[in-house]
Amino acid sequence: MLKFIEMKKLLFGIILFGIHLVAFAQESEYATKLSIPYYPDSISKSDTYIRERCVLDIYYPLKSKGFATVVWFHGGGLTGGEKEIPESLKGKGIAVVAVNYRLNPKVKAPKYIEDSAAAVAWVFDHIQSFGGDSTLIFISGHSAGGYLASMVGLDKRWLRPYGIDANRIAGLIPFSGHTITHFTIREERGIPGTQPVVDEFAPLFHVRADAPPLLLITGDRELELLGRYEENAYLFRMMKVAGHPETTLYELDGYGHNMSEPAFPLLIKEVRRIVARKESSKK
């Protein structure tokens, strides 16, 4: 009996050691660089808050080239939140860029959008030096981050100062983002949260047929934030009416606003779909 117990302990130890080796091998095939400024030194060094907030982290594969990249904007209502590399996006053969941006009340619109565009431009300009493909850059984020992803991708004016056409973005994948003007921006103007506004700071204002592929994901309409599913459903419909060929909408039944975990597999599937299409077009 004692020998049997000792054998079980030995086998368990071997299994644990094997799992550790696999995990170490997977982790060792990726690198992470933290808090890289995405504005040039002339801007970063001129403003303490820009120097503090306008930085990004990049997680990328070490042993492959030509990989896709997901730029990830955190949520927090444009008033809070911190950059993070989502665990569900690690080890998937892609790079992930996590972005911080300035927040209300220290700044007001459109500073959040300007920062987001500057970060995306940095990725376009630098991802090849890490081994990535600049034609496979996807923009995503949750809540306020989803709103910023949509604004940068649908309204071309934010990337234009960097000489980048927003149509170069491989795909837009906002999670539960506003498609009307963000409630924090409305609050800055003294407009109540129950009063919807669609103006230049609303993704809906920039509906166009030639936009990058758009995958909209929200939680259950009965569990989401006020009108969040309906906003996205309206953007979905209007993009279709405008003639956009690749707008898709998912409603995750049973999930509320914090629906990121079940949405990440849909993000990965969309990235792989577009990567595969590009590969097939080369043949």
Give me the tens of pLDDT residue by residue for the chain, a chain 283 residues long: 434 334 444 444 444 444 443 443 455 699 999 999 999 999 998 999 999 999 999 999 999 999 999 999 999 999 999 999 999 999 999 999 999 999 999 999 999 999 999 999 999 999 999 999 999 999 999 999 999 999 999 999 999 999 999 999 999 999 999 999 999 999 999 999 999 999 999 999 999 999 999 999 999 999 999 999 999 999 999 999 999 999 999 999 999 999 999 999 999 999 999 999 999 998 7
**What residue ranges in the chain does DSSP mark as E strands?**
30-37, 55-61, 67-73, 95-99, 132-142, 171-175, 214-219, 247-252
Residue 94 burial (CB count, 10 A):
24
Residue in 57, 12, 24, 22 with CA at minimum distance from that of residue 38 = 57
- Which one-letter DSSP state was computed for residue 120? H
> Domains in the chain, please, with CATH?
32-281 (3.40.50.1820)
pTM (predicted TM-score) = 0.91
- Which pLDDT score, from 0 to 100, does residue 28 have? 66
